[in-house]
Structure 1
Amino acid sequence: MTNDYATTFKIIDVDGDGLISLEEFTRLMEVLGQPVTPETARAAIAKLDQDGDGLISLEEFAGYLR
């Protein structure tokens, strides 16, 4: 099931490190026409971030979208 979301994840993961950072999430929201504050972005990431590293992995991303 994770592979179903891999293509979308790769588009968001601009630097290709396998993780969505605060900066990448913030940029995504700007591109979508929904700019967010750093605080809002951190809160959104915290909802998906299961291991507490402040980043979103593909597994966390896919788990949220399921």
Structure 2
Amino acid sequence: MQSSHLNYEEKEILPLIEKSLTADDWKNLEQQWQHKDYMDPLFGSNVTTQYSALAKHIKEE
């Protein structure tokens, strides 16, 4: 299931993103990524803390 999802993203979604973003869009995204100013619109800033806690919990089991 995971494999088919990833294949769909790579073959369908990512090419559409590449076609729709302008050079300025890519530059803006790159700058945000390098400066870590990007905030995930779905998970926000809490995602790192949540996954760190999950990883710690898994290691303890």
Q: Same fold (TM over 0.5)?
A: no
Which structure has the higher relative contact order (CA within 8 Å, separation 6+)?
1
TM (norm. structure 1) is 0.27
Where is the strand percentage greater, Structure 1 or Structure 2?
Answer: 1
TM value normalised by structure 2 = 0.29
Give 1 or 2: higher helix fraction.
2
Q: Highest Rg: 1 or 2? A: 2
